[in-house]
Amino acid sequence: MPRRRTLQGKSDLAAAVMEQDRPEDMAETMVGSLGPIGRLLTSIGVPKGSAVAGTTNPFTGNVKLNQGLLDQYSPEQAQDVLAHELTHSQQVKDKSYLQRILTLFDHEADEKEAYQVSENRAMKRRDIPLKSESR
């Protein structure tokens, strides 16, 4: 049974879709919402006017979503954020504790993989018309 806590709005809808798309990841991952302190801590180092949509605990793989921000996104974008964070969650679970600590200092490869998952989902939704050849 998936473990979801305190999710509402598009965060909850995204979690419901992910339970269908990635049931094994959702079953193993605690997904909750960022509280006020979590939003404050995740804003450190983020450019002014920006916000973090979701975060994954680098030691446990638990996911926290910024519900206020996700409610401003389309349902598909909210699903992409959760897919991105679930990718990080799986990355954490596939690493030893030493690797998890080292990832705190160099996580570029993990970010590239997670962003690729989000981009692949977005590409699947697009209907890109081919240019018609005119003569």
pTM, two decimals, is 0.79
For the ranges 2-6, 37-41, 113-117, the one whose mean pLDDT is highest: 113-117
pLDDT at 132: 52
Tell me the Ramachandran region of residue 49: left when phi exceeds 0, alpha when psi lies from -120 to 50, beta otherwise: left
Strand order in the sheet with 3-4: 3-4, 30-33, 63-65, 54-56
Residues 51-107: tens digit of each pLDDT: 788 889 999 999 999 888 888 888 888 888 999 999 999 999 999 999 999 988 988
* Other Cβ atoms closer than 10 A to 31: 28
How many DSSP H helices and E strands does the chain contain? 7, 4
Spans of all domains in the chain: 3-125
